[in-house]
Structure 1
Amino acid sequence: MTPFSLRRLLVRLIRLWRSSLQLRTVAITVLATLFAVTVISGYMAVTIATNLYESRKDQVLAEARQATASAQLLFDSSVTQTGAIDVETAAEAVSRTIRLSTSSPTQFALLRTPGQSTPQIMQQRQSPGFDLGVITSELQAAVAEGGDAVFSQPIGINGGTTLEPGIIVGSTIEVPTAGQYELYLVFGVSDVQRTLDFVQQTLLIGSLLLVLTIGLVTFVVVRFAIRPVRLAAQTAEKLADGQLEERIPERGQDVVATLARSFNRMADSLQRQITQLADLSRVQQRFVSDVSHELRTPLTTIRLAGDVIYDRRRSFDPTTARTAELLHTQVQRFETMLADLLEMSRFDAGAVDLETEPTNLVRLVEESIDSIRPLAEQKGTELRLVAPGGYFEADVDARRIRRILQNLLGNAVDHGEGRPVVTYVDSDARAVAIAVRDYGIGMDGAQLERVFDRFWRADPSRQRTTGGTGLGLAIATEDAHLHGGVLDVWSEPMQGSCFRLTLPRRPGGIVRHSPLDLPPSDPVDAVLTEGGHDA
């Protein structure tokens, strides 16, 4: 398996772990159970092994003491009334006695204790196959100096291909006229090892079966418990998708049924409120649309009459002429507001279509700047354009983009406090971006959250020169979304604001990255001295 395949498998496992509550619950339960069972089984295995070994060791020591006592008694009883003893005959009798006094086949060795001054009149004896190498120097020293005590030590017995466990036991025997001899007995404990292996195997199989059983039970219980939660989640997703009639089936009287009833009551309440809000929204939209259409006819008549009065204002006295000018201005603002209301009603009704054509955005920006220049000169604001070059032509609805630009430029001039307003245009192979940057009063965080809301203005008490409906940025946002683009904003109090429009180069494209930073990195001084040119 390649590293890439391993990485994909790991990613899938991580995704499955994060998305499945049932998997996490079962896995954690099985792992915790496995840990607990391992600890308990290990403790039981160690305890059983210790008890079995100690029991076998006590049995071996008892048999060794009995064999030693029998051998000593046999040697002592072999002394005649004259004090003589046939040690070889006695040794043969001792060998037979040792074989008969143990419960299992036992190897033995009868060795003379080194360093004695008495002559060696009895030969050392050992059973066939006895390996003198199993007698360690530590054990031999302990036996030689231990007197009547019995000493033991675990050893490995050569069983052919493997070493089998065993115990060697050493003690001393006083042979009349021959001195001190050491008796070593080797006992095999392979039966204890077989018993221990069986116990450990049983514990292992039992532990695995217990873990599997707990895992299976946990899976069934969790599946039964999570099923209502999964059903509630699926129903909630359907409700979020607009299927307001979806409900959770109610069965029984337990806590799950209570959850279902509470969820359904909540869904019923939400459905009623959403239906009421939808009806109210439709009534409101219909009202705005109807009123806007109904106002067009009288407004047209008023505008025609006002234009006639406005054209003849020079023949009026100053008071009447000023009244004619005010009437003309307010009628124009009324027409603008009415046009915005009609546009928003078309957006709400979904009756808006794009009429795209290849457009040079730099030229479109220049035209928008020229249209706003009289207002900028009145405010004492300098308009700058920064267009470093690139893929500027894009398929857009020029009328709507021009409306967005005029709104952004008008707001920048209104709130720029007479400081320069810089417009940036840049693009790449997939997207185009236009940013309008002013250095005026700016906005705080609370204002930024509502800047694109309908009928909202940053400072209603502030005297404005353009607009006034509070629908400009809302319409601009709808126009941007209609193109598949994004309208972003950056602002800091007393540092100005920057609105950035990012559009896909072709209809249906997706904006993943904007060619312009927000705000663009060029400060005003750099724009004036390096890359900018007068619009």
Structure 2
Amino acid sequence: MSLALVGGFLSYSIGGGLYSTRQEQVLAESERAVIEVQNTFSSSSVSNEVALQTLMNTIVPSIESTGTTNSRRVALLRSPGQPAVQVLQSPISADLETSIIPAELRAKVRVSTGKLLYQSVSIPVAGSVHPGIVVGAPVQIPLAGNYELYLVFDLNSEQQTLDFVQRTLVFGGLVLLLMIGAISFFVTDWLVRPVRLAAEVSEQLAEGALDRRLPERGEDILAVLARSFNKMAQSLQSQITQLASLSKMQQRFVSDVSHELRTPLTTIKLAGDMIFAGRETLSPPVKRSAELMHDQIERFETLLNDLLEISRYDAGAVTADLEMQDLNGVVGMAIAGIEPLAMSKGSEIRIDIPQGSVDAEMDSRRIERLLRNLLANAIEHGEGKPIHVAVGASESAVAVTVTDEGVGMSRTEVDRVFDRFWRADPARKRTTGGTGLGLAISLEDTHLHDGWLQVWAKPNEGASFRLTLPRRKGMVFTQSPLPLPPKKAKKRGDE
């Protein structure tokens, strides 16, 4: 845009300058010609019509020959409205059409007091039109009366010069624009290339390629940026490597300890079961101790199984035993297994399941364990209020929601609910034990089935977990059949 404005301004300035210069030259020539013609007639001593006509006929060739260019034409026209003293023929240049002289200019010249008057006109020449200027002035001719002298100047050469200048400006502007574009492209590419490279390396670092670095060249600001970026990347690599090493050590420690505890636990469990089986023959205090020992051994065994299970997931040694199963049946088995706990806590389990079977390809043992874990959490945090279980299905997916109306969770707690060894309220009394691995294992079981395990919760309004699984292994789904949070289910048995 700026280049076009500059080009337009230059073209206008050059055109205006050419026209002004030529106009001054035309007026100067015209003024000399008018003075010369008037002096010629004033100084003549002709006294008859023939001599006067002869003198007038010499005017046009004389003025045409004294011009600086060959583009000047002349017309000496009698002013209309005069008494016929001497009616003489008006001399006119051979190739001049008097019709190009504007009538309004002639009217102004007739009443002029000798001042030069001019007007721009268009001159037809050989099928084309040239720009021109007509200059007129009154002339007094003895014995003949008032006449008007007109000089017509063709400005085609100036127009051609202006056209050439404009073409040159346009061509030069295009060349300059291309040069500016090329220079801008290379300069921008030179400036942006390091930033683009930094973005690419950042993406590669984010994807796990921790050894990627930026090239360091020179001492400019880009080199300083590259060095700072590389230092940051090196620091991140060191920290991530250290954390990964610690994580592997932790996983190895958990796995080793879990396996090492398996053998003594088996021995303790056998001894404890024998004591628990003969508790009726023991004194009341010893009997109570035997029951407590049996319960704690069962709890310890559950904790150890969780540790072993999460260790197998860490080692990548878990595979799903997939079979077509009725999800309604799996949900029923999970409820049956957890119902004694619900009754002890005073929580009623209400279900809403569709008629008929809801078949999906799944590892029923793991899904039942997952649902049992969700139900146990709902009962533990439901404060004795009803627990709602719903089952849904679509063409590509099946889903289960477990919803309680208990204490709920904050947004921060929801973000951490699947973290290992994390509890929403560690100080709170628990009746189901647990290490904080239950939901972490449930999430791993869900991923094993290529499914979703999602949670919704609000403080003092309850929480809802939604499990969504594909109908068959590898089947893609984009939406769960059940909403989250779900609608409350009907009480079991109510239809």
Specify the SS of the correspondent of 2:58. Answer: helix
- Contact in 2 for aligned 1:484/1:510 (Cα 8 Å): no
Partner of 1:189: 155
- The 1:247–1:39 alpha-carbon spacing in structure 2 relative to 1, beyond 3 Å, is same
Deviations 1:201-254 (A, max 9, x none): 222222222222222233333444444444444444444443433444444444
Aligned to 2:62: 97
- TM-superposed deviation, 1:150: 1.7
Q: Does 1:340 align with 2:302?
A: no
TM-score of the aligned structures, taking structure 2 as reference length:
0.91
Q: Number of paired residues?
A: 494
Contact 1:391 1:429 in 2 (8 A): no
Judge conservation of contact 2:7–2:169 (CA < 8 Å) in 1: yes
Over alpha carbons, which structure has the higher Rg? 2
Q: Is the aligned partner of 1:459 residue 2:421?
A: no
- Structure 1 residues 87 and 362 mapped into 2: Cα distance closer, same or farther (>3 Å)? farther
Cα distance 1:199–1:308, how it changes in 2: closer, same or farther (>3 A)?
A: same
TM-fit CA distance, 1:85: 9.2
Q: Distance in 2 between matches of 1:493 and 1:117?
A: 117
Q: Does 1:113 align with 2:79?
A: yes
Matched, 1:311 2:277: yes
Between stretches 343-352 and 84-93, larger displacement belongs to 84-93
- Which whole-Å deviations, capped at 9, do the CAs of 1:259-292 have from their partners, x for residues lacking one? 4433333333333222222221111111111111
Structure 1 residue 191: Cα displacement: 0.9
- Residue in 2 that maps onto 1:279: 245
Aligned-partner Cα distance in 1 for 2:407–2:241: 42
For residues 145 and 408 of structure 2, the distance between their equivalents in structure 1, rounded to whole angstroms, comes to 115
Map 1:10-409 to 2 at 5 A: 35-80=1-46, 86-102=51-67, 103-116=69-82, 119=85, 121-388=87-354, 392-409=358-375
Match of 2:490 in 1: 528
Question: Are 2:57 and 2:91, in contact at CA under 8 Å, matched by a contact in 1?
Answer: no
C-alpha distance in 2 between matches for 1:180 and 1:499: 113
Structure 1 distance, partners of 2:9, 2:135, is: 29
- List structure 1 runs of 4+ shifted beyond 6 angstroms: 82-85
225-234 vs 483-492, greater mean Cα deviation:
225-234
Change (3 A) 1:159 1:378: farther
Amino acid of the structure 1 residue aligned with 2:256: D
The root-mean-square deviation of aligned C-alpha atoms, in Å, is: 2.6
Provide the C-alpha distance between the structure 1 equivalents of 2:211 and 2:36, rounded to a whole number of angstroms.
98
- Residues 387 and 402 in structure 2, CA contact (< 8 A), matched pair in contact too: yes
Shift of 1:149: 1.8
Distance (whole Å) between structure 1 residues aligned to residue 328 and residue 26 of structure 2: 105
Check the 8 A contact 2:325/2:362 in 1, yes or no.
yes
CA distance in 1, matches of 2:198, 2:34: 82
Is the contact between residue 78 and residue 85 of structure 1 (CA under 8 Å) also seen in structure 2? no
Q: Tell me the amino acid that sits aligned with residue 100 of structure 1.
A: S
- Which is worse superposed, 492-501 or 102-111? 102-111
Structure 1 gap ranges (5+): 1-34
The answer for the alignment partner of 2:386 in structure 1 is 420
Question: 1:111·1:125 contact (CA, 8 Å) conserved in 2?
Answer: yes
Aligned to 1:4: none
Partners of 2:355 and 2:19 lie apart in 1 by 90
The unaligned stretches of length 5 or more in structure 2 are: none
Q: 1:51 to 1:363 in 2, by over 3 A?
A: same
Contact 1:388–1:426 under 8 Å retained in 2: yes
How big is the shift at 1:390?
8.3
Structure 1 residue 118, shift from structure 2 partner: 6.5
Identical aligned residues as a percent: 49
1:461 & 1:317 partners in 2: Cα distance?
34
2: CA distance, partners of 1:105 / 1:266: 80
Q: 1:424 to 1:110 in 2, by over 3 A?
A: farther
- Is the partner of 1:184 in helix, strand or coil? strand
1:87 CA displacement: 3.9
Match of 1:11 in 2: none
Q: Which amino acid aligns with 1:98?
A: I
CA displacement at 1:352 relative to structure 2? 1.0
Change (3 A) 1:533 1:65: farther
Distance 1:382 1:138 in 2: 110
Cα drift, residue 84 of structure 1? 8.8
- Report the Cα offset of residue 67 of structure 1: 1.8
Distance 1:385 1:89, change over 3 A: same
**Matches of 1:335 and 1:493, distance apart in 2:** 33
